[in-house]
Every structure is written in structure tokens, then in C-alpha cells.
A = this chain, B = another copy of it.
Amino acid sequence: QGTRDHAPAQAALRERLLSAVVSCFKRHGAAAIDTPVLELREMLVGKYGEGSKLIYELQDQGGELLALRYDLTVPFARYLAMNKITNMKRYHVAKVYRRDNPATTRGRYREFYQCDFDIAGQFDSMIPDAECLKIIHEILSDLQLGDFIIKVNDRRILNGVFAVCGVPESKFIPACSTVDKLDKMPWEEVRSEMVGERGMSPEAADRIGEYVQLHGGLDLIERLLQDPKLSQNKLAREGLGDMKLLFEYLTLFGITGKISFDLSLARGLDYYTGVIFEAVLLQQDNEHGEEPVGVGSVAGGGRYDGLVGMFDPKGRKVPCVGVSIGIERIFSILEQRLEASGEKLRTTETQVLVATPQKHLLAARLKLISELWDAGIKAEMLYKKDPKLLKQLQYCEDTGIPLAAIVGEQELADGVVKLRDVATRQEVRM
């Protein structure tokens, strides 16, 4: 349940998609690493907030207690700490596992790929963070998924908002989780969860509401920097200052048109400490002139400066920022689009079929195909002793093989091969 096989057409589409993502990561100078699917259970505990209950655990069959990785970020942090690496730009494309309620039509699975790019190291403020946003922008543009917006916020700004609205620090994380639901439900419902389940005062909730419904650009950052309450909070001031710097860099990258500073963005995971971001695709056919509606998050990430330190025996911190591309949702979109277009994706790369027009020529086919393989040419033949020529040409048409190399008795006698273009039916002897 919640997993799937990939048939050849899907595997080919996925390969195309992953290679577009990986080539972007390589364009930005990242090296690949790989970590096991299995992690020690204790490494994953307490890193994912409410997600922790979705971790797949392995049965105790003797030896270590293991679990399947829940994401690629925690294993990366564990890898950095174990190897005492303080500086690294890496990508990792691999499957992760969550015992979630699957919603496969919307691309939500229990086994799914993540494509992560992360920059670890102590650097000047906001330069790596800006690059992560540039990467999202490049990938979503390359894949031609339609219009999108990248929401940006900062955990320090959110925490500053909570503080100046009178939320005690112990309730910052649950407040964050509640605000995170603003993309799925209206403010009124979020407010009643705050007051009802989270035990905040109605006044605090209303004050929070005034902030978290704001979104904009540089102008909003400037306004909040002047905000009489928020500007008194040290965390918020730091966050807003960095946000201003980030917008400066994004302006140089020429991508602020797709960026929205959005105070409702909170992100579910516990480990974020600074900038957070999330890209959403906007509804395509919008006949009614309404505000564009998000059809779901396709990329996300942020800064997590404390995570590596949780794995280091001496608690040494390595600041990190990274982005994860939500490849399953994008795959669903591309799959539906391909289906709608009626285009047939080739699932093999075979260049030539080795064929014979008469019987008793299996030996000639085997000799020729062996020569072709040894010369690096992608070649197939039918696994029949005496296949009909029509069947052989039909196979080319069915599977998109462009050429047939035909050896008959005459060709054998003349020491030539007849090369046939399957589409045009033109033949040359060579």
C-alpha cells in the first residue's frame, strides 16, 4: 500500500525527470553522496516532530535496532557529524519512507524519491540561502511546469511574532505547526485550533493573525522593520535583516518576480532555525479572474543550523541550508501531461534490429549482432530461430527501432548487409 512498481514507460519518464534535477545540482557544483536506507532507530528519534510516528521500524531480529530513513536531511547531518566534515556542498537523490496515509493520485506515497541539495559550512549570511532559491527557480523553469511562486519566511521572524503576541516560548513549536496549516484552511479555522487545541488566548491568536496573513516583497520587509512591536524583538530583527539581504541577492539573480515573503509559511519540521521556503505551482486555467490558487508544494527547504550538532558528541554545530525537490508531485503532473498528449515515450534505446528474410540464418544473425555489440552499437534480434521478416519489422515499429540490418542468403554470398530505414523503407547495401 502506498508503493508502486514503475513500468518501463514510467521508469523512462522518471529517468528523464531525475536527470534534469541532477544536472541542475551539478551545475551548482554539488558532489554526490550516498547513505544507507537503514539508519539506527535512535538517530531518527526526535528529529521530525509530529512526523516521528510515521517512521518505519525494522523488526528486532537480533543486533541493532533499525529504521528506514524518513528523509535525506537527517542522514546527511549524521554523515557530516560522523566524519567531522564542516564544509560540503552535496546532492542526494534516493528513496525515503513514511507510514503516511497514501494519496497516490496527488503523488503522495509511502516510498518516494527525494532530490536534495544542501550546503553545509560557516559562510557569509544569505549567500548559500539565495543559491537554494535560485536552484528551485531553475528546476521549475526548466521543467516547464507552468507558473509558480516561491514563498519565503524565517523561523526567527515567526518566533519573534509569537513572542510579541504573547505566546510563551514553550509553545513556539506547536504555534508553528498550527500556522503551517494556513495553506490548507482559512484563518478562522487556524485561529480556533490555536485557541481550542493549543490553549492560546483569543487576543494572542488575533494578534498573530494580523501578522501571519501578510505577504509581499521588499516593501513588507521594510514595513515590518519599522513595526513598533516586532522591531523590538531581537530574533525578528535578525530575521528581517537577513530577509532584506536575501532579497538583495535574489534581485541580482533576477528572480524576485517569483518570490513572495509570506509570514504564513511555517514548514512542518522541527529542525529549521532560519530561512524557510516552499515552492507552489499556480493553477493554470483560471477563467474567472480569481487569485491564482496553489496546487501544492513541489519544493521546499530551509536553514537548519542545529541539526549536525545533535549528532556530534561534543555538540559542535555546522550551519546548513538546503532544498528538497518534491519529485513525486512533479512526476504525477508530467505523467498526466504525457498521457494527455498521447505521445509514446521510447523505453529502450535500440538503434538497429538484426533481421533475416529467410530460414536457417540464425548463425548469420548471431555473428552480426555480436559484431555490432562489440562495436558499441545498441542492437536487438528476435529470440526465434526463423522469425518472419514482417514480424521483425513490426517489432521495430512497435518499439521505435529506427533501423533494421538485414542479412539474407544473397547478402551473405555478397558479403554485405542491407540496412533498412524502418520509417521510410529505404534500403542501402553496405
Q: A residues near B, CB below 8 A?
A: 1, 3-8, 10-12, 14-15, 26-38, 56-61, 63-64, 68, 79, 82-83, 90, 95, 97, 99, 110-111, 119, 121, 123-124, 127-128, 130, 134, 138, 249, 252-254, 347-350, 362-363, 366-367, 370, 373-374, 376-380, 383-385
A337 to chain B, nearest CB (A): 20
Residue numbers in B under 8 Å from A380 (CB-CB): 28-29
Q: Flag if B3 contacts A38 (CB, 8 Å).
A: yes
A82, B3: Cα distance in complex, Å = 14
Residue numbers in B under 8 Å from A8 (CB-CB): 31-33, 90
Known contacts A12-B31, A36-B4, A37-B37; is-contact A127 B367 (Cβ 8 Å): no
Q: Flag if B33 contacts A6 (CB, 8 Å).
A: yes
Q: Flag if A349 contacts B11 (CB, 8 Å).
A: no
Known contacts A37-B37, A383-B127; is-contact A138 B373 (Cβ 8 Å): yes
State how many copies of this chain the complex holds: 2
A selection of 13 A-B contacts at a CB cut-off of 8 Å is A3-B36, A5-B79, A7-B33, A8-B33, A26-B348, A27-B376, A27-B379, A29-B350, A31-B347, A58-B59, A123-B384, A127-B385, A134-B370
Q: Flag if A83 contacts B34 (CB, 8 Å).
A: no
Q: Flag if B119 contacts A31 (CB, 8 Å).
A: no
A26, B380: Cα distance in complex, Å = 10
Q: Which residue of B lies closest to A34 (CB)?
A: B6
A4, B4: Cα distance in complex, Å = 27
Residue numbers in B under 8 Å from A35 (CB-CB): 5-6
A130, B373: Cα distance in complex, Å = 14
Q: Flag if A5 contacts B33 (CB, 8 Å).
A: yes
Known contacts A366-B253, A373-B138, A377-B27; is-contact A124 B385 (Cβ 8 Å): yes
A120 to chain B, nearest CB (A): 11
Q: Flag if A254 contacts B1 (CB, 8 Å).
A: no
Residue numbers in B under 8 Å from A6 (CB-CB): 32-35
A68 to chain B, nearest CB (A): 8
Contact of A252 among B61, B366, B377, B378 (CB under 8 A): B366
Q: Flag if A11 contacts B27 (CB, 8 Å).
A: no
Known: A27-B379, A37-B68. 13 other contacts (CB 8 A): A1-B64, A3-B36, A5-B82, A7-B33, A8-B90, A28-B380, A30-B348, A37-B37, A38-B97, A38-B110, A124-B383, A252-B366, A254-B370
Q: Flag if B99 contacts A61 (CB, 8 Å).
A: yes
A249, B370: Cα distance in complex, Å = 10
User: Which 7 pairs across A and B sit closest by C-beta, in order of nearness?
Assistant: A123-B383, A8-B31, A29-B380, A6-B34, A3-B36, A31-B347, A11-B32
A90, B97: Cα distance in complex, Å = 25
Q: Which residue of B lies closest to A26 (CB)?
A: B349
A379, B26: Cα distance in complex, Å = 9
Residue numbers in B under 8 Å from A385 (CB-CB): 124, 127
A104 to chain B, nearest CB (A): 13
Residue numbers in B under 8 Å from A11 (CB-CB): 31-34
Residue numbers in B under 8 Å from A15 (CB-CB): 32
